[in-house]
Amino acid sequence: MDLPSPQSYPFPLEGDIRSAQRDPSWPKIVTNLAALYGDHAEFDGFLKRLAACMDAARSVRPQRLKTLDAARAADPDWFLGASAIGYSAYVERFGGNLQGVVKNIPYLQRLGVRYLHLLPFWKARDGDNDGGFAVADFRQVRPDLGTTADLAALTEALSDAGIALCADFVLNHTSDDHPIAQAALAGDARARGFYHLISNPVEVAEWEAGLGQVFPETAPGNFTWRAELSAYVWTTFYPFQWDLNWSNPEVFLEMASAMLDLANLGVEAFRLDSAAYLWKEKGGPSKALPQCHLILQALRGVCEAVAPCVKLKSEVIGPVAETAPFLGDKYHPECHLAYHAGLMTAGWAALAEGDADLIRRVLAEAPPPPPHAGWITYVRCHDDIGWQSLAPQMAHLSAEAREARLRKIAAFYDSGATYARGVAFQASGSGVHGLNGMAASLTGFETGDPSALARLRLLYGLAFAAGGLPLIYMGDELGQLNDPSYRDDPDRQHEGRWLHRPAFDAARADGQDAESAAVLAMFEALRRARMALPPLTHESAPLVVEMEVPGLLAFSRGADALCLFNFSSEAIPIGRIAFPLGTDVFTSRPSAAIDHLAPFGMVWLTRGPAA
């Protein structure tokens, strides 16, 4: 089998780099790529081919997108402003297909959404495909969801509505039925170079000694034997997801080319899946190595040169010390957005413990993002809640005490002994791994707890107030519950994360359910309050105000905003710490008249009159 061309444009193998050299991003691109591939004999030819790829992509970029590039350049922080709200959903669960998503744009506008993250909709492996993350073709839409023409129509319709589309771009691996993987299976030497293939089991064992496991229950280990190759394939995630060999410059060229193709269809942001796993070194976990950052910085440079409106979002889920570096710094900008996973997990822990200590620690340890970059702040997503993200904030405890504390937090949500209805994820072995469940089920809606709405409001209030881009996970705005139906589906029953991937409930969205109407009203109030409090932007990081009351979280945003949250089930007096003159943006009550926070209550105080 012939290896398919790694380029979508018919550019020559040897290109003219003069136009690329005139681009301000080119020196940065070359510097990063030289550090990665400079010792390759064909490095100069690789640069020429990359330059030709970029020139070809620039030459066919639609005029409407060039106009968008200019508009975004004039407002580079548009995605971090007080009016920016994100929304995340699976295409098939939200609209059925891409055309169905177009029909739901008015609903997104009603929520105030300006950034829509649609989870993988690319052609995926048949059968089990890790929720679409086992990509069989980076340039083709999954046939049951539409076509590339449908995608271009969707991005244009979204752009007309003031919404940017974020698409997943799986950097670490392809599916085993990707054309390049199939060519490798057929014996193509060049295709084999796209993957990590090891024939010696002793060497595999040496690698494994330093590696962790992403799915210890359903996919233990990091290598899969393939008899057709007479080799083990590196498979960090599932056996059908083959890790790409990013030490091969051909991989960079193929992925950069695919990214530019998608940017020219109108994709405005890429969620760079599994970005921490790209580079491998024996003797350690092969995670978040310096070369990963060089790759992402080079990809950013390529996008800046061809499609300046494009934003990159790092999909690195872990403690804040692990996620923050993927934003880069003032002199080495990397991704524009990163998940504030530690803050998300700390919010759930605070509810379980009735103590905001872990949130305070996460906020205190989070570095301010570099210019034109920020955090994704969120409550739930398609993935599990990983408790180990909080381990650094418990470093003052012994290993045994830390493990016991995490187990107690996890049990609060997955034991069935409280108001919460969650299910443990990958937790049969040692350690505490994760939790599955919709936010509504985890806060008490499923059990009819009277404080459920207050808890949901508290967690999303933290996400909306902490800075960056707040992200709503589809169904949370309607109070949708866990979906256990996946257990009856042979293709999904092994994957517990489908518990929190219900289908969009259109009846609830139409206001036919009183409970959902109340949740929607709550989100509308959060949106209005955020816009009414200008300091709630990326330009003023949360400054924790230390409190003697464990359940009380307080942080200022600039000189004129103070946000207070009660994570306990008891009322907390707050009169002595409120602004002497000011108002709560939610109720317009003067701060002097607010003497306590109700259980799971929240106020955002501002100096001066409320909007």
For CA atoms 400, 401, 405, 411, the dihedral sign is positive
Q: Do residues 419 and 447 touch, judged by C-beta distance below 8 A?
A: yes
Torsion of CA 175, 179, 183, 185, to 10 degrees: 30
Q: Are 517 and 525 in contact (CB under 8 A)?
A: no
Q: Is 273 a catalytic residue?
A: yes
Which of 273, 304, 414, 584 is catalytic? The answer is 273
Backbone CA torsion sign across 249, 250, 256, 259: negative
Return d(Cα 121, Cα 442) in angstroms, integer: 28
User: CA–CA separation, 94 vs 102, rounded Å?
Assistant: 11
Beta-bridged to residue 243, according to DSSP, are 173
The residue written with tokens 């020559």 in the block is 12
First to last CA, the chain: 66
Answer yes or no: are the C-beta atoms of 600 and 454 closer than 8 Å: yes
**Quick one: CA torsion of 272, 274, 275, 279, rounded to 10 degrees?**
-140
Q: What are phi and psi of 442, to 5 degrees?
A: -80, -20
Pairing between β-strand 85-89 and β-strand 469-473 as defined by DSSP bridges: parallel
Look-up: residue for tokens 């950097």?
171
Compute how many other C-beta atoms are within 10 angstroms of the C-beta atom of residue 509.
20
Residue with tokens 């040897």: 14
Whole-number Å distance between alpha carbons of 295 and 36: 8
CA 287 to chain CA centroid, Å, is: 17
Q: Residue 222: which residues within 8 A CB-CB, separation 6 or more?
A: 207, 208, 211, 213, 234, 235, 236
- In whole angstroms, give the CA distance from residue 24 to residue 28: 8
Q: For residue 587, what are its two tokens?
A: 């109720």
Q: DSSP 3-state assignment of 318?
A: coil
For residue 77, the tally of other CB atoms under 10 A from its CB is: 16
What SS3 string covers 200-233? Answer: CHHHHHHHHCCCCCCECCCECCCEEEECCCCEEE
The CB-based long-range contact list for 48-51 (8 Å cut-off, 24+ gap) reads 48/14, 48/15, 48/16, 48/17, 49/7, 49/11, 49/13, 49/14, 49/15, 49/253, 50/20, 50/252, 50/253, 50/256, 50/302, 51/15, 51/16, 51/17, 51/19, 51/20, 51/21, 51/26
Residue at 87: amino acid letter: Y
| Catalytic pick among 315, 334, 353, 476 | 315
Q: Are 288 and 276 in contact (CB under 8 A)?
A: yes
List the catalytic residues. Answer: 273, 315
